[in-house]
Amino acid sequence: MVECPICGREVEKLVKAEIEGSIIEVCEDCAKKYGKILEEKSRKIKVIKDKEIKEIEEVDLIEDFFVAIKKRREELGLSIKELAKLVKEKESVIKRIEDGKLEPDINLARKLEKILKIKILSKVERKRVGKKKEIIPKLTIGDVVEIK
């Protein structure tokens, strides 16, 4: 049993709630009475994040994507400005991408692939996500729900 810091009642478990702008653990009754329960929400966010990570892991930019973009753009006789217009991006963004200073997000990368007819995205091999996998341990749905 744990004691609720607001009403002092002993309850089986406390829930995370947002009360007057701060996040505290209180009993469910106090959470509903004085603020809103955050627990359900945070669980959902966690699950979505897990899905997002998986999606990111599926495709990745090739190592010299910026070389490929620049080479192909020049082959097609396009200026940076023209290419920027075609993918609806700022000229400076395309320039930074070609300089290898900026990685396009997946959406932009796909647009560039389509317009330039090149491949700059590749399916990520499991080995390449080794680093990520260390940080993100394999979670089952059950584990994810337990995380707060």
Which chain residues interact with Zn ion by CB under 5 A? 4, 6-7, 27, 30
9 vs 44, beta carbon nearer Zn ion: 9
Q: Which is nearer to Zn ion, 19 or 62 (CB)?
A: 19
Q: How far is the CB of 19 from Zn ion (least distance, A)?
A: 11
Residue 17 near residue 38, CB atoms below 8 Å:
yes
- Nearer Cβ to Zn ion, position 30 or 68? 30
Minimum distance of Zn ion from residue 5's CB (angstroms): 8
Contact 12, 3 (CB under 8 A): no
Contact assessment for residue 80 and residue 70, using Cβ atoms and an 8 Å cutoff: no
Q: Supply 1's token pair.
A: 């049993």
3-class DSSP state of 9 = coil
Least distance from Zn ion to the Cβ atom of residue 36, Å:
14
Per the structure block, which two tokens stand in for 143?
């584990």
